[in-house]
Amino acid sequence: MSASHDVFDAPTRSKVMRAVKSQDTRPEMAVRRAVRALGVHYRLHRKDLPGKPDLAFIGRRKAVFVHGCFWHGHDCARGSRVPKTNRDYWLGKVSRNRARDEKTRAAYKEMGWEILTIWECETRSPDLKDRLAAFLDIVRA
């Protein structure tokens, strides 16, 4: 990334990028709160499962991935936005993330597991808990 096109100098950009979290993000915490409200137990970031799912329901053989719209190339406004600077880098980065996601999906299918991908923009939806309940086969009154 050339410093002349970036709004930050190199040390500041480095600090900004280090602050980007991969776990315990706001969208992930929203999903965890919704699942907790359903009374279902889960495991976090299981390293022994493909792609280290955000939530793993071992007995149910189900996993939930919470994807950031920008980082995983969702088709919403935030996900389809491409930065003006270093465009080729970001297009490649998102493309590699999407390819990795597809390999992960295939691995779960081969294992006989079901997965649910929840996009960052969907975590603000009022039907999030209903979606999770349906995925987890929970009958709600």
**21-127 has which fold?**
Endonuclease; Chain A (3.40.960)
Cα 123 to Cα 16, 80, 110, 117, distances in angstroms: 24, 18, 28, 11
pTM of the model as a whole? 0.84
d(CA 104, CA 130): 25
Structural element, H or E, at residue 134: helix 128-135
**Could you list the pLDDT tens digit for every one of the 141 residues in the chain?**
444 467 778 888 677 766 666 777 899 999 999 999 999 999 999 999 999 999 999 999 999 999 999 999 999 988 888 888 888 988 999 999 999 999 999 999 999 999 999 999 999 999 999 999 999 999 766
**Among candidate residues 51, 73, 75, the one with its CA nearest the CA of residue 63:** 51
For the CA atoms of 50, 107, 128, 125, what is the dihedral angle to 10 degrees?
90
On the CB side of 45, CA atoms within 13 Å amount to 6
